[in-house]
Amino acid sequence: MSPSNNVLGPAIVTGASSGIGDAVCNRLATSGRPIISVDRDQQGPTVGVQGHYVCDLNEEAEVLRLFADLANDFDLSSVSSLINVAGVPGTEAASKVLEVNLLAVRRLSRFAASHFSSGSTIVNVGSISGNGWQQRLDTYRSLLTLEDPEARAWWSAWSKLVPIDPYSFSKEAVIVWSLLHAGELQGTGIRCNVVSPGPVDTPLLPTFREQIGDDRIDWVVSHSGRAAKPDEIAQAIEWLAVGESSWVNGHHLVVDGGYTSGLLSGWIDLETAPTPKVTHTE
């Protein structure tokens, strides 16, 4: 039987050992769904899983080994969802930011889609830092036609010339990738969506403060009242991955307590915002 939102096939969760990824695993476990977890941390999530795989998504060889292990250990046609939570902040090297936040997500998605059955889903995690993706849509469409070696070469040549920081660029790109992949998957019965959180109270929040600046983070948080709890982002991810969302496809779902709606409708004046830091680490 092909998996569907009503069949408890396992879900693959990357970045599963902490923060949003761990919260997603907790929600899935509560509903009785088996979990296959992936993280660079040896320790898996705080709930039991069918298998935990240690993988540094910055290393292509490790990702390829992960694919071989997953294909050997599981019937991937029975997997209900791939949930790409893993990511790195802009304080990491620019090359690593692109590799983990975009190229690894694309590689994992294509691998999963080649094995999944109709009814399975892919959910990627973007960021409100990527909300400007429409301004550079042609750039991302061109970049995403390149295979990984050519994309890395493009990034090496152009990363300092793009008008935004590497983290925001990577998140804009993964949003566009998710929309494009939904189109690639038309006719397969596999859906792809992307969730973009605002600031979230996770162990990475201090790193984002270092990346963007305390003043800017505090200003953003002030308009939604607080940072999100990891479970509040996990709610949206779970709904798109295994919930009753069967006609939601190619959707960019912003989960930020209303901040983005304020920018779009004008009740938040961006001109009053503190200037963010622009972090570009070699």
Residue 152, pLDDT score: 97
Residue 237, pLDDT score: 98
Query: Mapping DSSP to helix (H, G, I), strand (E, B) and coil, where does residue 92 land?
Result: coil
For 30-34, the CB contacts below 8 A with 24+ separation are: 31/238, 31/242, 32/8, 33/8, 33/9, 33/80, 33/242, 34/8, 34/9, 34/10
Return d(Cα 162, Cα 37) in angstroms, integer.
34
Residue 208, pLDDT score: 84
Residue 7, pLDDT score: 65
What's the predicted TM-score (pTM) here?
0.94
- Looking at residue 236, its amino acid is A
Residue 145, pLDDT score: 98
Partners of residue 37 on adjacent β-strands:
13, 52
φ/ψ of residue 123, rounded to 5: -125, 120
Contact in structure between 234 and 253 (CB atoms under 8 Å): no
pLDDT tens for each residue of the chain, 282 residues long: 344 444 689 999 999 999 999 999 999 999 999 999 999 999 999 999 999 999 999 999 999 999 999 999 999 999 999 999 999 999 999 999 999 999 999 999 999 999 999 999 999 999 999 999 999 999 999 999 999 999 999 999 998 889 999 999 999 999 999 999 999 999 999 999 999 999 999 888 888 898 889 999 999 999 999 999 999 999 999 999 999 999 999 999 999 999 999 999 999 999 999 998 777 676
Beta-strand (E) ranges in the chain? 11-14, 35-39, 51-54, 81-84, 121-125, 191-197, 252-255
Residue 100, pLDDT score: 98
Q: In order of start, what are the domains of the chain with their CATH numbers?
A: 11-272 (3.40.50.720)
